Amino acid sequence: MNDLFLRPEHVLQGGYFHSTLRKLQEPNTSIEPHNIMYPVFLLENEDAIQPVGSMPNVHRYGVNQLIPALTTLVDKGLKSILIFGIVETMPKDPTGSSADDVSNPVIKALPKLRDAFPQLLIACDVCLCPYTSHGHCGVLTNTGAIDHAASVKRIAEVALAYAKAGAHVVAPSDMMDNRIKAIKDALISHKLQNQVSVLSYSCKFASSMYGPFRDTMKSSPMEGDRKCYQLPPGSAALAARAAARDVAEGADFLMVKPGLPYLDIVKQTKDQFPNHPLFIYQVSGEYAMISRSGDSNEVQTTLMETLTCMRRAGADCIITYFAPVILSIISGKH
Ligand code: PB1
């Protein structure tokens, strides 16, 4: 062998043969409870609990069932949740008026959750699609296009309602231009700007991986699709411009969604805005894929590798339906 292969700088394996040496060379990839946010589905019926067929081990809860379920997870270290309201008896109409109705399950549950879990960070998804008759995330014109001004007004109203009810974080997943500024303005005018954060779904793509969620929420568009307000999967440029728009409008945190297929966008966004906490939403389709990737041990190994890669790409927090599994792994409590 010529001497090229014997040069000391080409001998790497002496630097990572030991697990501690490997850990030393995986900076900022640890998975701790504060790196995980647990999405939960909240029903009108306060005593109900319903399994989600398309998402193994995921349930839809009434608040009286959610509290004991979260108690177990808080004991294992859970630090934050993201609430999605589901209405089955309340009306769905063109402006999503049930979204901020006093009877909305999210608004009714927030004080109870804040009381039950004083230390838990409670975020609320803000969108119209679970509440609109047409299933879109905004208000439509009479020609079926997005009515930008009406949509932004409604999203800000809903975000303010959740903030007033006790949300620590409001997370607009609608993707409408300028809703971040409208939400911030509403929080400021109600003296809530220093008590409520805005987590923007800034880089959210028109993905095919939301199917199980839409099935669970019954939130698919009645007609058309969301391609005119969610980002085209092939555009890193629009993702960069959307993140810049939301930072300029006052977003406290940014998000890339879905996660694994978009890790290049995660790195791009973290490089573009290193001082803004960056969330990844590991969506329902990703959850379903990994859940079916093997036996429970193989699923856990694949899951933790995926989370490590998400953290390596720049994610500070991962929104994941696997939170119960992850907490069991990192807490050692099963
Ligand atoms: O897990 C998931 O699939 C999340 C889906 C996501 C929730 N924020 C949205 C995607 C969609 O249905 O277009 C809901 C939009 N408000």
pTM to 2 decimals?
0.97
Q: Hey, what are 258's tokens?
A: 């879905």
Distance 130 CA to ligand 1 centre (A): 10
Distance 23 CA to ligand 1 centre (A): 34
* Size (the chain), residues: 334
| Catalytic residue list | 204, 257
Distance 233 CA to ligand 1 centre (A): 15
Say yes or no: CB of residue 173 within 6 Å of ligand 1. Answer: yes
Q: Whose CA is nearest to atom 10 of ligand 1?
A: 210
Say yes or no: CB of residue 283 within 6 Å of ligand 1. Answer: yes
Using alpha carbons, list the distances in angstroms from residue 299 to 31, 303, 306: 16, 6, 10
Say yes or no: CB of residue 219 within 6 Å of ligand 1. Answer: yes
Say yes or no: CB of residue 136 within 6 Å of ligand 1. Answer: no
User: β-strands 49-51, 59-61: how paired?
Assistant: antiparallel
Say yes or no: CB of residue 229 within 6 Å of ligand 1. Answer: no
| pLDDT score of 8 | 86
Q: Whose CA is nearest to atom 13 of ligand 1?
A: 210
Distance 323 CA to ligand 1 centre (A): 17
Instruction: Break the chain into its structural domains and give their ranges.
Output: 3-331
User: β-strands 278-282, 254-257: how paired?
Assistant: parallel
The amino acid at residue 10 is H
Per DSSP, which regions of 176-282 are E strands?
197-198, 203-204, 254-257, 278-282
Nearest-atom number in ligand 1 for the CA of 285 is 3
Best of 83, 204, 213 for a ligand 1 pocket test (most atoms within 8 Å of beta carbon): 213
Distance 320 CA to ligand 1 centre (A): 12
Using alpha carbons, list the distances in angstroms from residue 11 to 2, 5, 23, 169, 268: 15, 8, 19, 49, 32
pLDDT one digit per residue (tens) for the chain, 334 residues:
566 667 888 899 999 999 999 999 999 999 999 999 999 999 999 999 999 999 999 999 999 999 999 999 999 999 999 999 999 999 999 999 999 999 999 999 999 999 999 999 999 999 999 999 999 999 999 999 999 999 999 999 999 999 999 999 999 999 999 999 999 999 999 999 999 999 999 999 999 999 999 988 888 899 899 999 999 999 999 999 999 999 999 999 999 999 999 999 999 999 999 999 999 999 999 999 999 999 999 999 999 999 999 999 999 999 999 999 999 999 999 8
Topology (CATH) of 3-331: TIM Barrel (3.20.20)
Per DSSP, which regions of the chain are E strands?
36-42, 49-51, 59-61, 80-85, 121-126, 169-172, 197-198, 203-204, 254-257, 278-282, 317-320
* DSSP three-state, residue 216: helix
| pLDDT score of 213 | 94
| pLDDT score of 2 | 64
Best of 55, 84, 86, 210 for a ligand 1 pocket test (most atoms within 8 Å of beta carbon): 210
